[in-house]
Amino acid sequence: MKTAFITGASSGIGRATAVALAAAGYQLVVAGRRREPLDELAQQLAPVPVHILTFDVRDRAAVETAVAEVPAAFQHVDVLINNAGNAHGLAPIQDGDPADWDAMLDGNVKGLLYVSRAVLPCMGEGGFIVNIGSIAGYEAYANGNVYCASKAAVAMLTRTMRLDLLPRGIRVAEVAPGMVETKFSEVRFKGDEARAASVYQGVQALQAEDIADLIQFMVTRPPHVQIAEVVIFPAAQAAAATVRRQG
């Protein structure tokens, strides 16, 4: 049985991807900061084999320790989904909170690097890494400054990883979603549910399952096929800050 390793699996895109890849025949290593939702996910997916890891991707030592302790049955990783990440705040650069900047750069960029470096020794020829980026990595928008920069880094890291890992026969791809209705905005706005809900008002946004379906398709292509970069929008969105709202 092939193994998929998914970060940020406790909710949103990560959780939906775990469900989709389990349905595609993968056993799973699911990682997140909170144990309880990961336990619930494992129960939901039974009898699919699931190994749970709890760590913050920003903590390099915790990442390395957790990956080193994965049981032998899960140690050959066929697919890595670098999904964990975050957005904090929406302010012009002069008013930004340095703690928010650290959280985004440490999670979105350094966390991806820490996890990839720890997992790559477990991955051989035919492996596949999918990094979850954002349209924000391709198009700047007002007050998005550091978040946009962090996702631009994900886009460039994906391209350079693809070059570096080509000799090992490992495919590397990025999925860059536009508007997806998850807890993303609630986190960005620090629990302000009304403000978070307004982001999706009048728009049929993408759902986490839409992104998971795309990821499942990408990683199950024949070994000679690599879908390298995908930008995915809801039909009501044409660019990062261009959305058609109705109602």
How far out from the chain centre does Cα 167 lie? 25
- Among 114, 138, 147, 200, which one carries the catalytic annotation? 147
Is 147 a known active-site residue? yes
The residues carrying an active-site annotation are 147
